[in-house]
A and B are shown apart, each in its own frame.
Chain A
Amino acid sequence: MALTKEQIAEKTEELKKFIAENKNMPGPLMPIMQFAQEKFGYLSLETQILIADSLGIPVTEVYGVATFYAQFSLNPKGDNVISVCQGTACYVKGGAKVLAKVEEQLGITSNQTTPDGKFTIQDTRCLGCCGLAPVMTINEDVYGKLTPEMIPDILAKY
């Protein structure tokens, strides 16, 4: 969900407080970035600049860490987060074709969000239910034994 101005201001204050409390611990960057990721759902340039300036390090360093680890996202997530498993079992059962169909239907590629902010496709390896391969989740809902033909109807529910 897109954050309102008030929500952003409130979360920024929380982040500032967290930074003040933790900036002197050894290796403060990761915990601070994780806190920000959790609060905002992603790391905006503004958030990265705030973290960099507070720690006295260049923004390039924060950005470097943010792009190194898959746990951080640079873009806001859509209302519905889709994970199409590309783990080994799903892959051999046609997971790639399922992902291609989702991408085609939404007009975006993996790790992107639709312009209306409704859907995000998230890079996904194993979801831990290989018996259902190929599998995908939308938010908390699990869809198994998929074929590309099933995708339009599933997406229409959201």
Chain B
Amino acid sequence: MENMINLTIDGISVSVPEGSTVLEAARAAHINIPTLCYLKDVQQIGACRLCLVEIEKARGLSAACVMPVSEGMVVRTNTPKLRRQRRVNLELLLASHNRECTSCVRSENCELQALCREYGVKEYPYDGAKKETSVDTASPCVIRDNSKCINCRRCIAMCNNVQQIGAIGVSKRGFKTKIGPIYDRSLADTPCVNCGQCIVACPVGALHERESIDDVWAAISDSEKYVVVQPAPAVRASIGEEFGLPMGVAQTGRLAAALRRLGFDKVFDTNFGADLTIIEEGTELIERLGSKDAALPMITSCSPGWISYCEKFFPEFIPNLSSCKSPHEMEGAMVKSYFAEKMGIDPESIVVVSVMPCTAKKYEAARPELGRDGMQDVDYVLTVRELAKMIKQAGIDFAKLPEEKFDDLLGESTGAADIFGATGGVMEAALRTVYEKVTGKTLEKVDFTAVRGTEGIKEATVDLDGKEVRVAVASGTANAKKLLESVKNGEKTYHFIEIMCCPGGCVTGGGQPIVSSKDLQYIDLKAVRAKALYDEDKNKKLRKSHENPEVIAIYKDFLGEPGGHKAHELLHTTYTAKPKY
């Protein structure tokens, strides 16, 4: 039993575990103390001075996010002095802030803007020197606009502590304090793996993705182009949030309907590509397990942030990476070969657009390894946020849409594909297929619960008819680092590892809808969005990738054998070690 501490907040008695902060205790009293630099489980440094509270017998005002509770403490969170002080602190932040809200990517979804509204900021009494306004646009994925930066350091906590990448930091001091890469470099010239976690951590508009909205509209309007779209598994888990629909409910049918109404010529599903990936990756795993000199453990290759991380931080593991392209790249390759051939369309005229929960996929789509005959497998990548903007621009009332299906040929999927978007999902999907391929028996219990859940590292041992297969799952690059180091120093041995770059997997990827730090105090976003995908899986009749009828057909009609010559040419790729700087 934890030691409980009793205190009073605004006259309300609360009892919270010892070690809680005043901010956490206030939540128990249903009081929201405003914050800007605080991000639950990521950063609490008491820097922004928005969470100031009055504590009886304490000297001065205290920052609630770092102040531990004590027995008999009397806290006040809403006094004239506090309201005035918070407003002054906001006004001081605004003094050097680029206040062009109307053209800002985060307008209406900006924590600074929301607080200014709440605290009644009506003027800019401290209008003074502005910070330099250079915008870093050289990265293929992440744009940094320091004129909007409020030095809260949430991006740094995400990059350095949670992900342990260290691409951005703080330099200089005082008014010259600057958030960004060393020597004013571009993010493109740092160890950045394009995960975009800095974007979803940012309370304002200082970080956002490189947008492809205009390119995609142009392609749709071009009568010479045949434009095909495909959304990733994790997109259905979150897109509803952008339109006020409840969190944790998949919107698969409305997503398909919305994409069709945007004017895409074909609405396929990356889920099909995910099922195809399992066939290729499962075959590769079985081959590696049966070979004496193949590199083990085999590590999944679906996550482009993880691939960049491996290439930059752990190049010694490149031979362990599955040679499989990621699902949307496989899907793109099939659109420009199998589908084009079948429909008699010139592949040069096809534009493949992927909707991804990810910013790193923008970089991946441009990798020279991922295309052939001068064509990229995927032409444009939109984040979920970009897709939501397009749907809004088109005036589509998403919440009222009927539920539609994806188009035939490359649109069918099994439940195994849905769970690709959550940490452990690719592993579970692969195990369902590998089990049946290796043992020749029907897998009755398809749920591998040991690899489910939001923990950063998970392990399991799977019995494949007498042969034990040891597997591990990591999400977030810091966890990947920990896991790979334990493999490197011989402490652990595995046959198969799944790694996703973002903590929690794609459901909490860098391209997902941004949830405010206030809301994040109350929900476990990773678990809530993952639930949407596991529900999709549970409700599907087919739950094993090798049972997907369109996948069976594509091997029969076009690809030949899984892992065969044609499959290798179209569905597999290579990796290269890359410098961090």
Contacts and interface: CB of A to CB of B under 8 A. Distances in A.
A74 B164 CA distance: 24
Contacts of A52: 166
Nearest to B182: A63
Interface in A34-55: 45, 48-49, 52
Contact of A58 (B165, B173, B183): B165
Interface string B156-184: 10001000111111111100000001110
Contact of A49 (B167, B170, B581): B581
A64 B581 contact: no
B207 to A, nearest CB: 16
A60 B581 contact: no
Given A45-B183, A58-B165, A63 B581 contact: no
B166 A68 contact: no
Contact of A63 (B156, B169, B191): B169
B160 A45 contact: no
B581 A45 contact: yes
A61 B156 CA distance: 10
Contacts of A59: 166, 182, 581
Interface in A60-102: 60-61, 63-64, 67-68, 74
Tell me what chain B mostly uses at the interface: helix, strand, loop, or mixed.
loop
Contacts of B168: 60
A60 B183 CA distance: 9
B170 A64 contact: yes
Nearest to A66: B171
A64 B171 contact: yes
Most chain A beta carbons < 10 A, residue from B167, B169, B191: B169
A58 B169 contact: yes
Contacts of B181: 60
Interface of A: 45, 48-49, 52, 57-61, 63-64, 67-68, 74
Contacts, number: 44
20 contacts: A45-B182, A45-B183, A48-B182, A49-B581, A58-B164, A58-B165, A58-B167, A60-B160, A60-B166, A60-B169, A60-B182, A61-B160, A61-B166, A61-B169, A63-B182, A63-B183, A64-B169, A64-B171, A67-B173, A74-B183
A115 to B, nearest CB: 18
Contacts of A45: 182-183, 581
A99 B182 CA distance: 29
Tell me what chain A mostly uses at the interface: helix, strand, loop, or mixed.
helix
A26 B166 CA distance: 22
Interface in B263-279: none
A58 B160 contact: yes
A149 to B, nearest CB: 33
A64 B179 CA distance: 10
A60 B181 CA distance: 7
B172 A67 contact: yes
Contacts of B156: 60
A63 B167 CA distance: 11
Given A49-B581, A61-B160, A61-B169, 17 more contacts: A48-B182, A57-B166, A58-B191, A59-B166, A59-B182, A59-B581, A60-B160, A60-B166, A60-B170, A60-B171, A60-B182, A63-B182, A64-B170, A67-B171, A67-B173, A68-B171, A68-B173
Contacts of A58: 160, 164-167, 169, 191
A157 to B, nearest CB: 34
A61 B167 CA distance: 10
A59 B169 CA distance: 9
Contact of B167 (A60, A64, A74): A60
B313 to A, nearest CB: 11
Contacts of B171: 60, 63-64, 67-68
A58 B581 CA distance: 12
Contacts of B170: 60, 64
A54 to B, nearest CB: 14
A109 to B, nearest CB: 15
Contacts of B183: 45, 63, 74
A8 to B, nearest CB: 18
Nearest to B180: A60
Contacts of B182: 45, 48, 59-60, 63
Nearest to A53: B580
B190 to A, nearest CB: 8
Contacts of A64: 169-171
Contacts of A67: 171-173
Contacts of A49: 581
Nearest to A46: B581
A157 B168 CA distance: 44
Contacts of B173: 67-68
A64 B171 CA distance: 4
Contacts of A48: 182
A61 B165 CA distance: 12
B153 to A, nearest CB: 11
Nearest to B156: A60
Nearest to B170: A64
A133 to B, nearest CB: 26
A90 to B, nearest CB: 22
Contacts of B167: 58, 60
Contacts of B172: 67-68
Contacts of A57: 166
Interface string B127-141: 000000000000000
A63 B183 CA distance: 8
Contacts of B191: 58
A150 B160 CA distance: 51
A64 B170 CA distance: 5
A60 B164 CA distance: 11
Most chain B beta carbons < 10 A, residue from A48, A49, A58, A64: A58
Interface string B176-199: 000001110000000100000000
A48 to B, nearest CB: 8
Contacts of A63: 169, 171, 182-183
A74 B184 CA distance: 13
A74 B156 CA distance: 22
Contacts of B160: 58, 60-61
Contacts of B164: 58
B303 to A, nearest CB: 21
